[in-house]
């Protein structure tokens, strides 16, 4: 079996994509996707910058499950990547060594810029966008990666804006009170204006990540359990829709978000902070909408894997 796989161990979730290599040796067809919450940012110590033993246990259990699936599909090559709070952790090397010991998977932490480039590659390929201008962002649990290519040379960066990290830092009430939301929005705006590149060209803004996918699903009555890239890649989500959804969600408890909108707990907990980042980013970019892409880092990692083998 000519099967390959990519894994993204992020701040909030771990995801896996198993694919079959096509005859040309350059492209692939998705066969199976899995995702599970590992909540690494939930108990990440921001002062000591240490990942917890509990987080290691959660991640190892999920990766063991992924390993079993890859064995069943007879996967021969794997690109396993760690992102978000893992790359920032002072005990990163020990953490990844423990993951290898417990799960059998060798996971490599990559930089924010590497993550942004792979994510942009996966999204642009899926949407068949071959040339600039474009702005791609990937909102995760710990960070938001951006690839901006306008009139000037491309800019790639990782912004310290993640749905789980922001939830932990600002939204202690359930539902959040007005003072917490004000503090959250002010913090997001400050960081975006300080660190996000400007995008003056008339090109698409492309959003990836669990928050963007969930917002599109909620606005269009799609079950989150049934979400696949083929159903939502390339469709638009307006700023009005995002801010309307945010206005509804911020008034509800986590339990009510789960009950009324069919969200699982992991997504319901962080959707308010995530939607806030998306809305403020679009306002900063003067964009009235974004294009949705569920194809992202996982696809980009597989493309790089195949390209590396051809050049190796």
Please tell me which residue, 123 or 231, carries the higher pLDDT value. 123
Neighbours of 189 (CB within 10 A): 15
| Pairing status of strand 75-82 against strand 108-109 | parallel
Q: Is the pLDDT of residue 297 over 90?
A: yes
User: Going from the N-terminus, what domains does the chain have, and what CATH number goes with each?
Assistant: 3-110 (3.30.420.40), 113-292 (3.30.420.150)
Place of tokens 């990836």: 208
What the block records as the tokens of 167 is 């939830």
Which SS3 state, helix, strand or coil, does residue 226 take?
Answer: helix
Burial of 194 by CB count in 10 Å (0-12 exposed, 13-18 middle, 19+ buried)? Answer: exposed
Cβ atoms of 30 and 40 within 8 Å: the answer is no
pLDDT band at 300; cut points 50, 70, 90:
very high
Q: Is the pLDDT of residue 310 over 70?
A: no
What pLDDT sits at residue 311? 43
Specify the DSSP class assigned to residue 51: -
**Spatial CA neighbour of 65 closest among 87, 93, 36, 94:** 36
Q: Is the pLDDT of residue 309 over 60?
A: no
């Amino acid at each position: 079996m000519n099967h390959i796989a990519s894994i993204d161990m992020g701040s909030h979730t771990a995801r896996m994509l198993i694919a079959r290599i096509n005859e040309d040796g350059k492209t692939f067809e998705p066969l199976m996707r899995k995702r599970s919450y590992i909540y690494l940012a939930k108990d990440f110590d921001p002062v000591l910058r240490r990942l917890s033993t509990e987080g290691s246990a959660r991640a190892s259990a999920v990766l063991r499950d992924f390993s079993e699936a890859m064995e069943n599909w007879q996967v021969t090559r794997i690109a396993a990547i760690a992102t978000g709070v893992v790359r920032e952790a002072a005990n990163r090397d020990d953490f990844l060594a423990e993951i290898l010991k417990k799960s059998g998977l060798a996971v490599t932490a990559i930089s924010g810029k590497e993550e942004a480039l792979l994510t942009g590659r996966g999204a642009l390929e899926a949407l068949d966008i071959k040339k600039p201008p474009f702005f791609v962002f990937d909102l995760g649990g710990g960070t938001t990666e951006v690839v901006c290519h306008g009139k000037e040379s491309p800019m790639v960066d990782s912004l310290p804006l993640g749905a789980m990290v922001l939830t932990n830092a600002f939204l202690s009430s359930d539902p959040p009170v007005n003072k917490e939301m004000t503090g959250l929005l002010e913090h997001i705006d400050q960081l975006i204006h300080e660190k996000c590149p400007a995008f003056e060209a008339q090109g698409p803004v492309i959003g990836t990540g669990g928050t963007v996918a969930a917002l599109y699903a909620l606005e269009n009555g799609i079950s989150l359990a049934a979400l696949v890239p083929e159903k939502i890649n390339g469709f638009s989500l307006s700023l009005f829709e995002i801010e309307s959804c945010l206005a509804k969600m911020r008034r509800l408890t986590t339990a009510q978000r789960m009950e009324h909108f069919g969200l699982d707990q992991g997504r319901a907990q962080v959707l308010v902070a995530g939607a806030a980042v998306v809305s403020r980013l679009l306002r900063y970019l003067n964009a009235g909408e974004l294009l949705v892409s569920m194809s992202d880092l996982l696809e980009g990692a597989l493309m790089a894997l195949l390209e590396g083998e051809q050049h190796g």
